[in-house]
Amino acid sequence: MHETSIVNSIMKTLEMEFEEEKLDKMSAIYLKVGKLSNIEPRLLHNAYTAKNYCGTRFHAVKLHIESTDIKIKCETCNHITEVENYRFLCEKCERPSKNLIQGEEMLIHKVEFDD
């Protein structure tokens, strides 16, 4: 499943990023998932729960997923518009734009540790 491999790669990224003793104290992961990223937060959450980290160092780690809106920056007037209903139009000059500045990403926004 798509989401399971995403969960795996997130955990792998964190394992490479942080030292062993920090990983043992990890308590929460905050993700930002763009609405155009093809990742469904609910499914990602299910995949994380299904992984069942019980008995591992990640057993107490909570996963928080924030869904981020789609934003475009107009090439003509530089105005930034929040896209609703997949209407890729600048709200200021009403020209169509595909210059995405937010909405496609899946990133680890924040990681929390117990002291």
Q: Which residues would be at the binding site for Zn ion (CB under 5 A)? A: 74, 76-77, 79, 90, 92-93
CB of 75 to Zn ion, least distance (A): 8
CB of 70 to Zn ion, least distance (A): 16
Of 2 and 92, the one with the shorter C-beta distance to Zn ion is 92
CB of 90 to Zn ion, least distance (A): 3
Contact 31, 66 (CB under 8 A): yes
Q: How many CB atoms lie within 10 A of CB 72?
A: 23
- Can you point out the beta strands (E) in 1-93? 26-34, 62-68, 70-73, 80-83
